[in-house]
Structure 1
Amino acid sequence: MNNDEIIAKGRRCIDIEAEALRQTSTRLGDDFAQVATAVFTILNDGKKLIFSGIGKSADIARKLVGTFNSIGAPSTFLDPVNALHGDMGLCRKGDALLAFSNSGETEELLKLVPLLKRFDTLAIAITSKSDSTLAILCDYSLTYSAEKEACPLDLAPTASSTASMAIGDALAMVTLEWRAFSREDFVKFHPGGSLGKSFAASVDDIMRSEGQYAQASDDATCQECLERMTNSNSGCIALTDSAGALSGVFTDGDARRLILKDANFLDKHVSDYMTRNPITIKQGSLAIEALRIFEAQNIDDLIVVDSDGRPAGVIDGQDLTKARIV
């Protein structure tokens, strides 16, 4: 094959899978809402989700176990073969089984579902066949669309596996929003790796500390403040009272607005124009808390204060991007 043929075949594969996703999205209806409601109720009752499947469906189920666990929804994988030889011991009354089978006729799952119902376990089928035996056996079913596989032989699971995983992801994200899962919650479950490090960072790790930000007494002139802001390449200056506690903040935005109102402001005390009682964050707080403040207050700079209310540093909105907090 030449390059053009290779690219064309690659695009064909992606196009077929994209079409499967589009059709799956279009047909999403009340059945999805019912399953989402059932999952929400089960998790709120302190129960868990049990994912199961054979072959590629098992791989999809295991991936979704990871996704649900990462958003605080207790989940586990149950091998349907091993379940028949003792592993059903992990099942408890009120749990939910999510059984994945493209055909809906996977023999091992058809044996498993009736057995799990002895535990008063809710059964949910995820399949491409709404009239399959699995769908009929289960209490609920979610049906995805995959009219044909991207495989030229129409054999290797491609479009079907993509659609199956997507409908599971959709259920996970609805669960996340419904349970009001926050960024702070996400941090608790992701303490390791680069993701965990960025989320677990404190404001002390990312703030501009002494010598890197502008600070002055609130009896300084506006011109003196602007000079310090320029020298430190800061968009704001932290202002302190006679005791050294933060008393206000003055920003380059304030300066631009003053130019239009009072051309002689440079020789006046900055205390006449500063923002008193500015928004702050305490030293030692999580950086993710700073992000929440930036998003809620629509500010460009955030002053970090110590336990005595003295300026300890400044966080510029761009610092969060550099630290990969956003």
Structure 2
Amino acid sequence: MVESARNAPARGAGFAASGRRVFEIEVQGLQAVAARLDGEFTEACARMLACRGRVVCTGMGKSGHVARKIAATLASTGTPAFYVHPGEAGHGDLGMITDADVVLALSYSGESDEILMLLPVLKRQGNPLIAMTGRANSTMARAADIHLDISVPAEACPLALAPTSSTTASLAMGDALAVAMLEARGFTADDFARSHPAGALGRRLLLHIRDVMHGGGEIPAVTADASLADALMEMSRKRLGMTVVVDEAQRLIGLYTDGDLRRTLTDPAIDVRDARIADVMTRDPIAIGADALAVEAARLMETRKITMLPVVDEARRVVGALNVQDLLRARVV
């Protein structure tokens, strides 16, 4: 036990050295693949962009896992795509592929039997075939309409057995295709959010102020001639920690908050019993529009060190009220 503890730092250094070596080898592999991006890559993007159906990704083993990820990335960035297991395709799932689809097949060796078995059928059906392999003279590469060369100088595995650098290169090539397609389609952050409505990003990009604000009778509001006592009663009833102050046209002219109340109580020059709200309110306060994103309200609150905001329309009429608790409940912050 003592000997084991004594050797622990040395083993830790060895682990770190192994990890750094993997990164170095895989970076070299990525650089080699990036240097070969040429007309074949451009043609692959053009075929996928012109596709009337979907991009069907397929691969066996580790290449199959990568193909699944590429299909998911394409689909979430505006290029309809799905994964088909090549083994299952030979037993009926081939019917999922229509003549309008482009097939993206992954195999580092380029000799995966399960994929080679599908090629005659795909050719007969007229599907454009994009092959992603590490061997330009492989059966898959020669049969493909477009070949993407993902060969790497070495695997990071010291036994040169486990796919490591090659799968990283495959993932990177898939990401390159997806991003190139995203840019060609003019895919936006809003488009991305619409395909991810349940995630945090979707909430941040889709949720607007109008979706989380208090409106109508829930808005605490008083006019400028109201007494401070009346304003405090309104704040107590509406429980938002503030009240807006409006003119006769419901335009925002001031704001009074719990923080303002604490400052008022400690100001010996102010008689709380006789004060009017116009004497103690914050004039021309910061406000936000109902069409703004909720995340913009969170950013504004953080920047200005405030916890609540009036919501106004183009004429600065008050249409809502919002505090940081509303953003927390909506999981925007």
User: Do the two structures share a fold, i.e. TM-score over 0.5?
Assistant: yes
* In 2: Cα distance, 1:325 partner to 1:162 partner: 34
Contact 1:105 1:134 in 2 (8 A): yes
Asked whether 1:137 is paired with 2:143, we answer: yes
For the structure 1 residues 245 and 52, does the alpha-carbon distance in structure 2 shift closer, same or farther, using more than 3 Å as the test?
Answer: same
Give the alignment partner of residue 184 of structure 1, picking from 182, 186, 190. Answer: 190
1:7 Cα shift?
0.7
Listed as ranges, the gaps of 5+ residues in structure 1 are 219-237, 249-273
What pairs with 1:81-92 in structure 2 (closer than 5 Å)? 81-92=87-98
* In 2: Cα distance, 1:325 partner to 1:131 partner: 52
Give the alignment partner of residue 287 of structure 1, picking from 272, 294, 303. Answer: 294
Residue 312 of structure 1 is matched in structure 2 by 320
Listed as ranges, the gaps of 5+ residues in structure 2 are 1-9, 225-243, 255-283
Give the alignment partner of residue 12 of structure 1, picking from 21, 25, 34. Answer: 21
Contact 2:71 2:81 in 1 (8 A): yes
Q: Aligned pairs, how many?
A: 271
Asked whether 1:75 is paired with 2:81, we answer: yes
Q: Secondary structure at the match of 2:167?
A: helix
Contact 1:97 1:122 in 2 (8 A): yes
Q: Which moves more between the two structures, 304-313 or 30-39?
A: 304-313
* In 2: Cα distance, 1:19 partner to 1:207 partner: 52
1:130 Cα shift?
2.0
* In 1: Cα distance, 2:289 partner to 2:253 partner: 11
* In 2: Cα distance, 1:246 partner to 1:119 partner: 66
1:279 Cα shift?
8.0
* In 1: Cα distance, 2:33 partner to 2:319 partner: 54
Give the greater-gyration-radius structure (CA).
Answer: 2
* In 2: Cα distance, 1:243 partner to 1:78 partner: 62
Give the alignment partner of residue 175 of structure 1, picking from 170, 174, 181. Answer: 181
RMSD in angstroms over aligned alpha carbons?
Answer: 4.1
Letter in 2 for 1:305: V
Q: Percent identity?
A: 38
Deviations 1:269-291 (A, max 9, x none): xxxxx8xxx98443xx6536x59
* In 1: Cα distance, 2:180 partner to 2:247 partner: 49
Q: Secondary structure at the match of 1:50?
A: strand
Contact 1:128 1:146 in 2 (8 A): yes
1:200 Cα shift?
4.0
* In 1: Cα distance, 2:92 partner to 2:327 partner: 49
1:204 Cα shift?
4.8
Q: Secondary structure at the match of 2:45?
A: helix
1:139 Cα shift?
0.6
Q: Secondary structure at the match of 2:183?
A: helix
Q: Secondary structure at the match of 1:155?
A: coil
Letter in 2 for 1:304: V
Give the alignment partner of residue 37 of structure 2, picking from 8, 21, 28. Answer: 28
Contact 2:209 2:289 in 1 (8 A): no
Asked whether 1:39 is paired with 2:48, we answer: yes
